[in-house]
């Protein structure tokens, strides 16, 4: 099946710093999503971005499908950005609707 | 986007018992999915809950251990049977936001299960 790798696994920032999270995937995808998992375990949808670039406030994401990677940018980080960031992809063929998750990036933002 | 609720939000259970988790959506959806997140790990798909037919299970998951029901287009249940401490996880259901191919998925708040 498709492989999803995220980097870095851990990231520690001071409040106000910028960061880039990366997601590499091993095959073509029909769907790619970025999630933030808060301390209570809930998954918050950040971006649905199978290709192209999107921005939402301090967050933006870019997916280059032909090169099989996606980037999540966090600018002017805040302590509330802390948590785990997951990239998840939906491969083609018989994988319709099935998301494969990366291992996540644990982000800690210190005040 | 769909609004998804799960019950219970958390539970502590004794080994050997079973727990049924409910997932309710505020609109009719074609595809519903169940995921497991073991402590400190990522999410893994358990099965696709199909309305009107048996669930489709992923490799490593079997119906006897994780029976699933999908009686209509807004509701599904996942049962964790004959539990052991290794079943301690967060269990999440997900749905597609809109019908059709390859759409954004949304997750319920999860059920945090601890097995003693």
Q: Which band of pLDDT confidence, cut at 50, 70 and 90, is reported for residue B102?
A: low
What is the per-residue DSSP string for A56-71? ETTEEEEEEGGGTEEE
Q: For residue B43, list chain A residues with Cβ-Cβ distance below 8 A.
A: 43, 86, 88, 99, 101
- Structural domains in chain B, CATH included, are 4-98 (2.60.40.10)
**Pairwise CA distance, residues A15 & B88, whole Å:** 34
Report the CATH superfamily, name and number, of domain A4-110: Immunoglobulins (2.60.40.10)
> What is the per-residue pLDDT across B6-36, written as a single tens digit (0 to 9) for each?
999 999 999 999 999 999 999 888 889 999 9
A56 touches chain B (CB under 8 A): no
**Pairwise CA distance, residues B33 & B49, whole Å:** 6
Q: Which of B30, B97, B102 is the mutation pick for testing A, counting most A CBs within 10 A? A: B102
Q: Report domain extents, chain A.
A: 4-110
Chain B nearest-CA residue for A87: B42
Q: What is the mean pLDDT of residues B79-97?
A: 95
> What is the per-residue pLDDT across B36-57, written as a single tens digit (0 to 9) for each?
999 999 999 999 998 888 899 9
B33 contacts A99? CB cut-off 8 A: yes
Query: Which segment of A23-27, A47-51, B102-106 scores lowest on mean pLDDT?
Result: B102-106
A100 touches chain B (CB under 8 A): yes
Tokens 């406030």 belong to residue? A57
């Amino acid at each position: 099946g498709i492989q999803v790798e995220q980097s870095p696994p851990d990231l520690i920032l001071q409040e106000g710093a910028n960061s880039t999270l990366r997601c590499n995937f091993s095959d073509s995808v029909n769907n790619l999503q970025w999630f933030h998992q808060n301390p209570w375990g809930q998954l918050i949808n950040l971006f649905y971005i199978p290709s192209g670039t999107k921005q939402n406030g301090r967050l933006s994401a870019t997916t280059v499908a032909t090169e099989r990677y996606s980037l999540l940018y966090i600018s002017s980080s805040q302590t509330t950005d802390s948590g785990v960031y997951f990239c998840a992809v939906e491969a083609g063929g018989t994988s319709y609707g099935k998301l494969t998750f990366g291992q996540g990036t644990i982000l800690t933002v210190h005040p | 986007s769909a609004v998804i609720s799960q019950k219970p939000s958390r539970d502590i259970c004794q080994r050997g018992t079973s727990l049924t988790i409910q997932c309710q959506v505020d609109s009719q959806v074609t595809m519903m999915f169940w995921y497991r997140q073991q402590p400190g790990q990522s999410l893994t798909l358990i099965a696709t809950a199909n309305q009107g037919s048996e669930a489709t299970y992923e490799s490593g998951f079997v119906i006897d251990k994780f029976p699933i029901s999908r009686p209509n287009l807004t509701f599904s249940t996942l049962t964790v049977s004959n539990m052991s401490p290794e079943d301690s996880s967060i269990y999440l259901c997900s749905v597609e936001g809109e019908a059709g191919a390859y759409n954004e998925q949304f997750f319920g708040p999860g059920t945090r299960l601890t097995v003693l």
